[in-house]
Amino acid sequence: MMDTLSLLAHGFSIASTPTNLLFVLVGVFLGQVIGLLPGIGPAAGMALLLPITFGLEPTSAIIMLAGIMYGGMYGGTLTSVLINVPGEAASVMTAVDGHQLARQGRAGAALSMAAIGSFLAGIGAVIAVVFLTPVLSSMALSFNAPEYFLIAAFGIIATASMGTSSAVKALLVAVFGLGIALVGTDPLLGTSRLTFGSLDLLEGIDFLPVAIGLFGIAEVLVSIESREEMEPMKTRLRDLWVTKTEWLSCRMAILRGGLIGFATGVMPGAGPTVASLLAYVIEKRWSKNPERFGRGALDGLTASESANNSAVHGALVPMLALGIPGSASTAVLLAGLILLGIRPGPMLMNEQPDLVWGLMASMFIGNVMLLVINLPLAPVFASLLRIRYAYLAPGILVLSLIGAYGATLSLFTVGTTLVFGMIGYAMIKLDLPRPPLVLALVLAPLMETSLRQSLMLSQGSMSIFIERPLSAVLTVAVVGMLLLPVIRMLLARRRPGIAGA
Please check whether residue 497 lies inside any domain of the structure: no
How far is Cα 116 from Cα 135, in angstroms, rounded to an integer?
A: 28
3-state secondary structure of 104: coil
Please check whether residue 498 lies inside any domain of the structure: no
Short-list 37, 39, 27, CA closest to 69: 27
pTM of the model: 0.64
Min mean pLDDT across 138-142, 333-337, 470-474 is at 138-142
Please check whether residue 501 lies inside any domain of the structure: no
Please check whether residue 302 lies inside any domain of the structure: yes
Please check whether residue 499 lies inside any domain of the structure: no
The pLDDT score that the predictor gives to residue 252 is: 83
Greatest mean pLDDT among 120-134, 153-167, 323-337 lies in: 120-134
How far is Cα 272 from Cα 166, in angstroms, rounded to an integer?
A: 26
Please check whether residue 461 lies inside any domain of the structure: yes
The pLDDT score that the predictor gives to residue 347 is: 67
How far is Cα 253 from Cα 95, in angstroms, rounded to an integer?
A: 17
Q: Encode pLDDT of 319-353 as tens digits.
A: 777 666 666 677 677 777 777 777 766 667 777 77
Which position has the higher pLDDT, 198 or 86?
198
Q: Encode pLDDT of 232-280 as tens digits.
A: 455 555 555 666 777 777 888 888 888 888 888 777 656 777 788 888 8
Range of the structural domain that residue 269 is part of: 2-492
Short-list 439, 425, 419, CA closest to 176: 439
Once rounded to an integer, what is the mean pLDDT over residues 190-210? 80
3-state secondary structure of 192: strand
Please check whether residue 500 lies inside any domain of the structure: no
Q: Encode pLDDT of 278-302 as tens digits.
A: 888 888 877 777 777 877 788 888 8
Domain count of the chain? 1
Which position has the higher pLDDT, 300 or 25?
25
Please check whether residue 480 lies inside any domain of the structure: yes
3-state secondary structure of 184: strand
Once rounded to an integer, what is the mean pLDDT over residues 70-78? 78
The pLDDT score that the predictor gives to residue 22 is: 92
User: Has residue 385 got a pLDDT over 70?
Assistant: no
Which position has the higher pLDDT, 223 or 283?
283
Residue partners of 408: CB distance under 8 A and separation at least 6: 206
